[in-house]
Structure 1
Amino acid sequence: MLFCLAPNTPKFEVFRLLNDELLHFLGQSVNTNTFCRALLTQDDIGKACWGNEPTREKFKLLFNALQVAGNDTKLQLFAVMRDNQNLEVFFSAPERNLFGFMSEGCQKALKLLCTHLYESTKDLGPVKAAGGTDIKAHFNAYQAQAVNGNICKACGMKELAPIRAGILEGDQWRADYDHQLCKSKYPIFAVHPDNLIPLCDVCNQDAKKAKDLFKHKNGTDRLAFYPFTEDAQTLIEIEIDNLRDPEPAIKVKWNTQDGLLVDKLNTWDEVYEIRSRVEGQFRSLEAIIEDEIRPRDSAHLASRISDKARPHTINTLKRKEWAFWYQKLFSQLQQIGTPDAEAFWEKLKFTQKQAKKGADFILNG
């Protein structure tokens, strides 16, 4: 994550209740040999899960698969879920093969149930009523300016959702929730309230998808930032190479030598494709200067760079796309020595003059 979540980030009560229901079911299954109502709680969530046929059938499918597997498997699965409820601890020492003891049939049934709880059961009327709010209301509370704001915490580049004037809060669009621990590989966290975070569509749908935070593509182990307490914002710098060249290279660099932090930074970069997105946005420094500053002369250019290099308030970072990254870029430009800056200005003037000549030629025939 570029920014860690705000300390007052609300937990979605529906997820907490469904997570507790799943844990209760696994615990009751250890010493029960018949699929029955007693496997679920007597609370409203248990009643809703039992009373909804598709949900009940998914519970039954897992129960039957565990019966075939035997008591040791039932006990071990319950222990795995019970002992890994603290996700901050799990992120510090992840268990990457949680379900190696389970048969393929058990794993498939577990994934079906957990996915169904997230995709369908959470939206049942009695479940939402028991939680006291629906997912739109939770998202609105999450993205409030006094909490996390409307900018994606993973990248700082995009809004979570457009805000439309004249639309009631409950009818506004919302961002999709990302499973930090993807439900295909870590199904027991499918409805864990600390595992679900709204992200922008690029981070969630285009970049992350079902990537495993704790395993590289080549299968080697890695670590990741815990989104409630850790982030990358103080560990990043922008580097500008060859300012006098026709196309200066702008690169995202890590400013730490700590091996643990570098590993987490590399995970964050690979999962959300941070470097390629930032360097793609900053592929033309001249265009950035023209679009953001429109300088009149070298003194005006230096003054405006100084203005834009000033750190933003936390409120700006919560509501303005790309604010963090542009401030980093202009902060680096501000540090460039006078000879290089003057040379860049002369090159910029020449480019602008050539562009004007070309425009005049087109307009005047």
Structure 2
Amino acid sequence: MLFRLVDGTPCFEVFRLLNLELLHFLEAAVNKNDFDRQLFTEGAIGDACWANENTLDKFQKLFENLGDADDDTKEKLFLTMQNNQDLEVFFGNPQRELLDFLNADCRNSLKELSLHLYSATKDLVPVVAAAGGININSHFSEYRSLTNNGNVCKACGMEKLAVIRGGIPEQRQWRSDYDHQLCKSKYPIFSVHPYNLIPLCSVCNQYAKKAKDLFKSRDGNTRVAFYPYSEEARGLVDIEISNLSDPEPATRVIWSTQNAVALEKLETWDEVYEIRSRVEAELCSIENIIIDEIDPIDEAHLISRIQDEARPIAEETFKRKEWVFWYQKLFAALELVELAPFAAKLGFMQEQGADGGEFILSGG
């Protein structure tokens, strides 16, 4: 993550309750041979799972497949989920082969149940009521409030989470999807874990990350990743500019640390969300950025405005304005280079643009 989630980020109570229900079910199933109501918790969540035909069917299928497996499979699955509830610990020591002891039928039925809990059971009226009436739209609204995380994607800092429309009630506002940091296909026991689900922008979630495994590198080895509630990349990245006087200056995202673990986490973050390629594509035309953002009158004005734009950014601005982190890094890098040749080239470009505009307006 570029920015860690703020302290006190609201936990979605529906996910917390469904996660506890799944854990309870797996524990109750260890010593049960018959599928009945006693496998579920007493109260609204257990009642809702038992009363909803589709949800119940998914639970029963998992129960039957676990019963057909080896004698210790039920207990091993329960203990695996129970012993890995602390996701910060799991991020520190990821276990990619966590569920390899399950046979294909058990694994598939667990995936189907977990996906159903996330996609459908979370919206059942009794489930939402048991969670204080806070549905996922209300939770998203609270998550992205300025007092919490704001409306800029925490993973990349480049995109808004959602376009907010004036005059539209909360329940009808658009929202971003919730990304499973630990992907559902590989880690189904975390499908409704409340700290595994984080709203991300559509570019990060749908185009870049998809179902990538945070803990599997391109060469198939286990790797580590930033834990989004306590770790972030922002203090470990910079922009480097070279060949500023050339027709096409080079802009690169670089890592500003020598710590081996931090470097591995940065590489994971970059590979999962395609950070470098997205940033470097946006910042490839420095001249156009300066014209659009500064429109300098002369070299002195250029230097003064670059200094202004390179100043530290207020925390609230990071939450409100996409790309502001990366633009500040770009201008901070520009402060460190010789600008006279670049200013001359920029002045020529502006003069040519003005002459072209006057030519067009004169009907030439």
User: Could you state the TM-score of these two structures normalised by the residue count of structure 1?
Assistant: 0.98
- Alignment map for 1:31-180 (pairs within 5 Å): 31-132=31-132, 133-180=134-181
Alignment of 1:1-365 (within 5 A): 1-132=1-132, 133-336=134-337, 340-363=338-361, 364-365=363-364
Question: Shift of residue 334 of structure 1?
Answer: 1.1
Post-superposition CA distance 1:273-328 (Å, at most 9, x none): 10011001001000001000000000110111011001111001110111111111
- Unaligned ranges ≥5, structure 2: none
CA distance in 1, matches of 2:298, 2:12: 53
SS in 1 for 2:339: helix
The structural deviation recorded for 1:351 is 1.7
**8 Å CA contact 1:30, 1:71 repeated in 2:** no
Which whole-Å deviations, capped at 9, do the CAs of 1:13-40 have from their partners, x for residues lacking one? Answer: 0000000000000001110011111111
Unaligned runs of 5+ in 1: none
Query: Alpha-carbon deviation of 1:357?
Result: 3.2
Residue deviations 1:146-173 (CA, integer Å, cap 9, x gap): 1111111001111111121112223221
C-alpha distance in structure 1 between counterparts of 2:64 and 2:291, whole Å: 66
Listed one character per residue, the Cα deviations across residues 179-206 of structure 1 (whole Å, up to 9, x for unaligned) are 0001111000000000000011111111
Give the AA of the match of 1:90.
F
Inter-partner Cα distance in structure 2 for 1:361 and 1:222: 58
Q: What is the DSSP-based 3-state SS (H/G/I as helix, E as strand, rest coil) of the residue aligned with 1:71?
A: coil
Check whether the contact 1:48–1:127 (CA below 8 A) recurs between aligned residues.
yes
In 2, the alpha carbon distance for the partners of 1:143 and 1:166 equals: 18
Distance 1:172 1:311 in 2: 32
- What CA distance in whole angstroms lies between the structure 2 residues aligned with 1:180 and 1:9? 16
SS of corresponding position for 1:250: strand
CA distance in structure 2 between the partners assigned to 1:241 and 1:92 by the alignment: 36
How far apart in 2 are the matches of 1:295 and 1:362?
23
Question: CA offsets, 1:220-265, max 9 Å, x none?
Answer: 1111000000000000010001111111000000000111000000
Instruction: Give the count of matched residue pairs.
Output: 362
Q: Check whether the contact 1:151–1:319 (CA below 8 A) recurs between aligned residues.
A: yes
Contact 1:207 1:273 in 2 (8 A): yes
For normalisation by structure 2, the TM-score amounts to 0.98
Over the matched positions of the two proteins, sequence identity in percent amounts to: 59
Counterpart amino acid of 2:100? G
Report how far residue 362 of structure 1 moved.
4.1
Equivalents in 1 of 2:329, 2:179: separation in Å? 27
Q: Which amino acid is the alignment partner of residue 238 of structure 2? A: E
How far apart in 2 are the matches of 1:268 and 1:71? 40
| Deviation of 1:352 (Å) | 1.9
Classify the secondary structure of the residue corresponding to 2:8.
Answer: coil
Distance 1:66 1:34 in 2: 12
Q: Deviations over 1:22-76 (max 9, x none)?
A: 0000001110011111111112100000000000000000000000003211111
3-state DSSP of counterpart to 1:237: strand
In 1, Cα distance between equivalents of 2:180 and 2:148: 20
Does the 8 Å CA contact 1:4/1:229 hold for their aligned counterparts?
A: yes
Distance 1:80 1:149 in 2: 35
Which amino acid in structure 2 is aligned with residue 128 of structure 1? V
Q: Distance in 2 between matches of 1:30 and 1:110?
A: 15
More moved, 86-95 vs 164-173: 164-173
2:348 counterpart letter in structure 1: F
What SS class does the counterpart of residue 327 from structure 1 fall into? helix
CA deviation map 1:124-147 (0-9, x unaligned) = 111111111100111111011011
- Cα distance in 2 for residues equivalent to 1:93 and 1:272: 21
